[in-house]
C-alpha cells in the first residue's frame, strides 16, 4: 500500500512509514536548562551582592539557546513531509499546554496581589493598615498605563489582520500586519520602560513595589518574547515561508500574543485601576 499523501511520502529517519516525527538528538534542552539555572543564580546574586555577572551570562545564554533552537525547528519544518498533520496537531496541543502553564504562572502573581490587597492585616512580616500601603502613591491609571493598554489592544487587531491576510493569500497585508504588530510591541516595551523610570515609588520600597514590579515586569518580559516571536514570523513571511495550509509558527505566535493581551487587561483592571491609591501621580 502506498504511503503517498498530498504532502508527499511520510518521512522519518528510522525508515519506518508512519506519520510521527522522531526528534533528532539536540543539545539545546540541557544547555537551555543550564543557562536557565545560571540566570536564577544570577538573580540571587543581584539581590544579595549586587553582582550582575552571572545574570548577564545566563540571560545571554538563554537568548542564544532560543535562537539556535528556533533555527533548528525552522529548518525541520521545511523538510518535505516532516511536519505531518499528526505532528502539527501535537504542536498545537503543546502550545496550548504551554499557554495554560503561563496562565497559572500569572495566577500566582495575582494571588499574591489580592492576598495583600484584601487581607493587609494578615501580613505577618509587616504592619499594613490599608492597600496600597500608607506612603505609596500609584500612577494615574488613565495616563501612561491607559496608553499602554491601547497600544497592546491595537497590536492584537494588527496580528489578527495579518492572520486574515495570510488565509486570503494577501502577502503584502500579511507582512504589513506583522510589521505593525512588532512595531507596537516595541512601543509598549519602551512605554513600560518610561513608566518604570518615572515610577512614584522605588523598586525596593516594600511589599507593594515588590508585587507590582514582579507582575508587570514579568508581563513586560513576555511582551519582549512575543515581539521576538513575531519578528521571526515577519522575516519568514517576507521569505514566503507561510501558506494558508501550513503556518503553525505564525499561528502559535498569534496565540501567545493574544494571551499577553488578555493578561495585560487583567493587570490594568486589577493592579492599575482597582488597586490605585487615593492620591495618584501623573
List the CATH number of the domain containing 199.
1.20.120.80
Both 148 and 271 in one domain: the answer is yes
CA-angle at 99, arms to 97 and 101, nearest 5° = 70
Q: Which residue has the cell 543550564?
A: 34
Comparison of pLDDT for 260 and 21, the residue scoring more:
260
Single pTM value for the model: 0.82
How far is Cα of residue 281 from the mean position of the Cα atoms in its chain?
29
| CA dihedral of residues 282, 155, 220, 198 (deg, nearest 10) | -20
pLDDT of residue 155 exceeding 70, the answer is yes
**3-class secondary structure, 192:** helix
CA 48 to each of CA 20, 43, 241: distance values in angstroms, whole numbers, following the listed order: 48, 9, 47
Q: Which of 68, 83, 98 is the last residue of a domain?
A: 83
* Structural domain harbouring 263: 87-282
Residue 255, H or E segment: helix 248-267
pLDDT band at 15 (very low <50, low <70, confident <90, very high): low
Listed in sequence order, the DSSP H helices in the chain are 28-49, 53-77, 85-118, 144-167, 171-197, 207-238, 248-267
Q: pLDDT tens digit string along 92-102?
A: 999 999 999 99
Strands (E), the chain: 4-5, 8-9
Tell me the residue length of the chain.
282
CA distance 191 to 171: 30
Tell me what the mean pLDDT of segment 108-121 comes to: 88
Q: Exposed, middle or buried: residue 93 (CB in 10 Å: 0-12, 13-18, 19+)?
A: exposed
Give residues with Cβ within 8 angstroms of 233, minimum separation 6.
178, 242, 249, 250, 253
Both 74 and 135 in one domain: the answer is no
Question: Residue 7 has what pLDDT?
Answer: 46
Both 152 and 58 in one domain: the answer is no
Both 107 and 5 in one domain: the answer is no
Q: Which of 83, 111, 144 is the last residue of a domain?
A: 83
Q: pLDDT tens digit string along 193-230?
A: 999 999 888 887 788 888 999 999 999 999 999 999 99
How far is Cα of residue 71 from the mean position of the Cα atoms in its chain?
19
Q: Which of 34, 53, 83 is the last residue of a domain?
A: 83
Q: Which residue has the cell 540571587?
A: 44
Question: Residue 124 has what pLDDT?
Answer: 56
DSSP lists the bridge partners of residue 11 as: none
Both 186 and 238 in one domain: the answer is yes
Question: Lowest-confidence range among 58-62, 158-162, 235-239, 277-281?
Answer: 277-281
Both 32 and 115 in one domain: the answer is no
C-alpha cell at position 58: 545566563
On the question of a cis peptide bond just before residue 132, with omega within 30 degrees of 0, the verdict is yes
Which span out of 30-34, 78-82, 238-242 was modeled with the highest average pLDDT? 30-34
DSSP lists the bridge partners of residue 4 as: 9
Both 57 and 133 in one domain: the answer is no
Tell me what the mean pLDDT of segment 58-71 comes to: 91
Comparison of pLDDT for 147 and 203, the residue scoring more:
147
Question: Residue 126 has what pLDDT?
Answer: 58
Question: Residue 143 has what pLDDT?
Answer: 94
Amino acid at each position: 500500500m502506498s504511503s503517498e499523501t498530498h504532502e508527499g511520502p511520510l518521512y522519518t529517519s528510522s525508515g519506518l512509514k508512519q506519520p510521527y516525527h522522531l526528534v533528532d538528538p539536540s543539545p539545546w534542552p540541557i544547555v537551555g536548562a543550564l543557562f536557565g539555572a545560571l540566570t536564577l543564580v544570577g538573580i540571587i546574586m543581584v539581590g544579595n551582592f549586587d553582582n550582575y555577572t552571572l545574570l548577564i551570562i545566563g540571560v545571554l545564554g538563554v537568548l542564544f539557546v532560543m535562537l539556535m533552537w528556533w533555527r533548528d525547528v525552522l529548518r525541520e519544518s521545511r523538510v518535505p513531509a516532516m511536519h505531518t498533520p499528526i505532528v502539527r496537531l501535537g504542536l498545537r496541543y503543546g502550545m496550548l499546554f504551554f499557554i495554560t502553564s503561563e496562565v497559572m504562572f500569572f495566577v500566582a502573581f495575582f494571588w499574591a496581589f489580592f492576598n495583600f490587597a484584601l487581607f493587609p492585616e494578615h501580613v505577618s512580616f509587616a504592619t499594613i493598615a490599608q492597600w496600597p500601603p500608607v506612603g505609596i502613591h500609584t500612577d494615574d491609571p488613565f495616563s501612561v498605563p491607559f496608553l499602554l493598554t491601547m497600544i497592546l489592544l491595537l497590536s492584537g487587531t494588527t496580528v489578527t489582520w495579518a492572520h486574515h491576510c495570510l488565509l486570503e493569500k494577501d502577502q503584502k497585508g500579511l507582512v504589513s500586519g506583522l510589521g505593525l504588530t512588532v512595531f507596537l510591541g516595541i512601543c509598549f516595551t519602551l512605554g513600560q520602560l518610561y513608566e518604570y523610570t518615572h515610577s512614584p515609588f522605588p523598586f525596593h520600597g516594600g511589599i507593594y513595589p515588590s508585587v507590582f514590579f514582579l507582575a508587570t515586569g514579568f508581563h513586560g518580559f513576555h511582551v519582549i518574547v512575543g515581539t521576538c516571536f513575531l519578528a521571526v514570523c515577519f522575516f519568514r513571511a517576507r521569505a514566503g515561508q507561510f501558506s494558508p495550509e501550513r503556518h503553525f509558527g505564525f499561528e502559535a505566535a498569534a496565540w501567545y500574543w493574544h494571551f499577553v493581551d488578555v493578561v495585560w487587561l487583567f493587570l490594568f483592571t486589577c493592579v492599575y485601576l482597582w488597586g490605585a491609591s487615593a492620591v495618584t501621580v501623573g
